[in-house]
Chains A and B, each alone.
Chain A
């Protein structure tokens, strides 16, 4: 009986923990590496050092400027992709019929087409429009890549919304813009927020297409990391990975806490 219990309950549980460990432990390795006292990628040998974290804040080393560049591009991309996503999703939801489905397939195509193919195409196009290595060029490309994510997130939110709310609002005298601002938007805030976050993250760690269309002028964080891997294996890489890891974990914890509070308020 005991053996059977171990096989039925214990084994699957062990397997699950192994899987989680396999997913997470390699990520955690960056933390000790970031604290190494050597100037190459290694585990600390004669004690720990904060010098690689200090290097991140040194403007001349280029980490900080590229972080700001990435943040700026990601914010612009999130804003534009969310606005376009809301406009399309709400329009498609309200109109119905065959054309929104067709448009949706078109919009989702960046998710289906391999980024490398897309990158080659964009290099040709941006070269002709002289948008290569420009902020506008990078933001536009990131918007196209983020649009499927915002459309999906906002569309999911809308699919739970009763279409008759629009008719109700109109029968009460609301014009289309009022219907949008006072009825539709307040009801899809979670979807809009999720879409904006996804767009931000998609832009923040986009590398494939960015590598092709940027040079010296626009250096995003992923690009900076890429370059540093190529010429020297700098432990600052591990330091920046640690910072990103901590920020991500904090964001996830904050989200869980907010959701918990909202759920408690509901009941």
Chain B
């Protein structure tokens, strides 16, 4: 049975719905990320899990026991705050020891545990410093050590890396993954950064407008999104309009070409139905298509160098724009103004029903 089960959770403020119809279960030891734009409800869910927000409807169960209305201090969940919220009057060691003193541990046990936590996050020599004497990354480590010290079942993290610069963020991502592996604690992680979510999570729940749009493995959400929102939110994507071929329902016509794509089971599609077609920038290549590939011609609009890759803006025969990212040596032919041959592996093309709104 899952460690944490959230059932039909809802939170409304006055007349504003912050969260609705949330069903989610988290297995013990999992790293689950709640991903979504700001205001999508992911932080409200985290606050409900911590007990700082009381849901308007639904239940949260831990080991099958209803904890929806249990006080935060009785939940035994660790919480890492955005901006850390370290106790400014206490040293690093005393910040970490706080939860142990509250639980009335014996002194030698506290000292041993604090030392263990300090070495876990690599801050052994900073035990006596005050939080204001530490860098952002160090404060972050203290916040994590403090939240893990008492051995919580679940660690809740609220955008913990958002205040750090890019380099530090990437090294802290690895650090968090290591801590997750070494401690075996279940992580529920909130972020609006899709790269972060993809790099760290076992599973991602994508939020939008107070609902979970999709839940799945990062790879599946990236490769086989079933909503336009997820296809656009995780990674860069090109969206084009297309439709089912009038004469053959296994074929799709889009950006001046035609390719096979069987209708998805359970979805009602008829010949002539309009569709949304997506293709990732990295899946577009330059050159003559082989028999297994789809070929099309496009005009190069712009070519910009972005480090390891070239980013090429193309205009298709139907007038739609798409972005392709290519290694520099492959992009030599992409001179602005030139019409070039492009190719795509048909399995890389995604087809979604046409949605009137972006939800």
A interface residue numbers (CB < 8 A to B): 162, 164-165, 167-175, 178, 182-183, 186-187
Contact = CB atoms under 8 A, between A and B. Distances in A.
Interface in B87-102: 87-89, 98-99, 102
Given A164-B81, A164-B83, A178-B102, A171 B72 contact: yes
30 contacts: A162-B83, A164-B81, A165-B87, A167-B50, A167-B79, A167-B81, A168-B79, A168-B85, A168-B87, A169-B87, A170-B51, A170-B73, A171-B50, A171-B72, A171-B75, A171-B147, A172-B73, A172-B102, A172-B146, A172-B147, A173-B74, A173-B76, A173-B99, A173-B103, A174-B73, A174-B102, A175-B73, A178-B102, A183-B87, A187-B89
Contacts of B73: 170-175
Nearest to A166: B85
A164 B85 contact: yes
- Which of B78, B85, B103, B150 has the most chain A CB atoms closer than 10 A to its own CB? B85
B225 to A, nearest CB: 34
B102 A173 contact: yes
B52 interface: yes
B31 interface: no
A169 B71 CA distance: 12
B255 interface: no
B89 A171 contact: no
Nearest to A187: B89
Contacts, number: 60
A169 B89 contact: no
Contact of A187 (B77, B88, B150): B88
Given A178-B102, A182-B98, 20 more contacts: A162-B83, A162-B85, A164-B85, A165-B85, A167-B50, A168-B79, A168-B81, A168-B85, A169-B87, A170-B51, A170-B72, A171-B50, A171-B78, A171-B79, A171-B156, A172-B150, A173-B103, A183-B87, A187-B87, A187-B89
Contacts of A165: 85, 87
Contacts of A167: 50, 52, 72, 79, 81, 85
A48 B263 CA distance: 112
Nearest to A161: B88
Nearest to B52: A167
Contacts of B81: 164, 167-168
A175 B99 CA distance: 11
Interface in B147-164: 147, 150, 156
B188 to A, nearest CB: 13
Given A165-B87, A167-B79, A168-B79, A174 B98 contact: yes
A97 to B, nearest CB: 13
B23 to A, nearest CB: 25
- Which of A165, A168, A169, A175 has the most chain B CB atoms closer than 10 A to its own CB? A168
A167 B143 CA distance: 13
Contacts of B102: 172-174, 178
Contact of B98 (A162, A169, A187): A169
A174 B146 CA distance: 13
